[in-house]
Chains A and B, each alone.
Chain A
Amino acid sequence: EVQLVESGGGLVQPGGSLRLSCAASGFTFSSYDMHWVRQATGKGLEWVSAIGTAGDTYYPGSVKGRFTISRENAKNSLYLQMNSLRAGDTAVYYCARAVNGDWFDPWGQGTLVTVSS
Chain B
Amino acid sequence: GIQVEQSPPDLILQEGANSTLRCNFSDSVNNLQWFHQNPWGQLINLFYIPSGTKQNGRLSATTVATERYSLLYISSSQTTDSGVYFCAVNSGGYQKVTFGIGTKLQVIP
* A, B bound: no
